[in-house]
Amino acid sequence: MARDRSLTIRPALHADIAAIRRLMKKAYAPQSGYTLDQLRGQLNHFPEGHLVAELDGVVAGYCASIIVTREEAMRPHTWTEITGNGFGSTHDEDGDVLYGYEVAVDPEFRGRRLAERLYSARRKLCVELGLESIVFGGRLPGYARRAKKVGGHGEYCRAVIAGQIRDQVMNFQLRQGFEFLGVLPKYLKSDAESGGAASHMIWRNPQARQDVTRAHSAADRGPSTVRVATVQYLQRAIRSFDEFADIVRYFVDTVSDYKCDFVVFPEYFAMQLLSIENQPLKPREAVLKLAEYNDRLEALFHEMALRYNVNIIAGSHPAVQEDGRLLNLAHVFLRDGSVYEQPKIHPTPSERYWWQVEGGDYVSAIQTDCGTIGVLVCYDSEFPELTRHLVDQGTDILFVPYSTEERNGHLRVRYCAHARAVENQIYVITSGNTGNLPRVHNMDIHYAQSAIITPCDFPFGRDGVAADTTPNVEMIAFADLDLAALKTARAHGSVQNRKDRRHDLYAVQWRGRAAP
């Protein structure tokens, strides 16, 4: 990448997201720019297409691009449609065109030609990928104040090209070698300075080639293959925390022997720790007693993820927050030592009644060494908006730890998991409890048939099931999941749910906070 003394143009990293967010707030004040979830989605969908200008260690500029088809780039479109509402979820590796949808520079660093350098780096990326061209909708910030004088957007753009008037952005883009194709009349409604429209611009790659392939591989198995395991866990009385730890360690050791990348445990599976008390407790007392084990559980799973070299989705567990709220919290322990939390957003009526569990307020994708994952706890899988928000952030694999008392409840989770896999073209892994805890209110009986679920199309299993367990039997199910098959299905499948979303009609607009 280009370098000028203390200035570096480089790919954006997840560690840059907070800095990019601050930059965007300054560049677009009084508007807030992108959310943290949108930025996370952008980097997950197409990491190479998102660049930062770093000046003296400070992120001073940001450039965002995706790949789309020639047809999508050249036809009339809006910013929301072509970018997937700013998440970059419309990125298509089989496309022909690099579509630029953002270049922003921190106002404090203007005058350093950062935008010019970012445009240059974007052209270099286009050449390296062998794409035909760069296309975007350009702002026209001088239009609104001249609208009455010049007329429509087309007349304004032609006047700029003829040198009759000057537009700061369009003149800059013309100097960068871009051609004017026409006007995108309803490009971005919120851009009042441009009258909601944009100039449709193109740069044609003189070195375009058609023989580019894009792939990645794992060291211990075939290209793009991820091995996952789901534990169907038997609830039974135990005598000590050490006994519980030995049971869990057995499962983690086993999946490690099979060289699994991920293992998932059920919702509330550590409830059996209450059997150590050997006395009936009132529901609220019981769940608060269980929350006291949090530190020991976190230490146990953190140590096992590192020792056994496996990413662990450690089910969920009640956790008292600093403000006194009780949440049902899933923990993800990655084998690099990282720890993530995902609260259950929708407690069930029984959780609210018996335990006074409250809902969380963020849903966040998690970047791992095997791609981008998400976690939704049990009932949350029955709300399609949550999965869609995770998919917008780049999630390819969704883990659903659950706990249901009887078959009806289990089937609600199972059927919804299949729906989420089909409508988003992702993999979904469920993990449930079996067995009994007679002295624990609301956890006394269980029914489960855990599963590893795929989309329903030719690259996958006949029934959309890569593997599942025998109902109500403690066991592990394994499967190898091919991330490349997801991309193939999304681009060329019998149906293409991801590609065919009507961004011009609907979107999931997250109003909660981003992950802490």
Catalytic residues: 267, 344, 378
Residue that the structure tokens 């800059």 belong to: 172
Are residues 328 and 318 in contact, defined by beta-carbon separation less than 8 angstroms? yes
Q: 3-state DSSP call for residue 223?
A: coil
> What residues form DSSP beta bridges with 7?
4, 55
* 65: its two tokens: 């691009």
Q: Is 516 exposed, middle or buried (0-12, 13-18, 19+ CB in 10 A)?
A: exposed
* Contact by Cβ (8 Å): 79, 135: no
Helix extents (H) in 263-406: 283-291, 294-308, 349-350, 384-392
The torsion of the CA quartet 327, 308, 373, 448, rounded to 10 degrees, works out to: -60
Handedness of CA 289, 292, 294, 296 (dihedral sign): negative
Q: 401: part of which helix (H) or strand (E)?
A: strand 397-401
User: Could you tell me if 108 and 26 are in contact, meaning their C-beta atoms sit under 8 angstroms apart?
Assistant: yes
Q: Is 397:373 a contact under the CB 8 Å cutoff?
A: yes
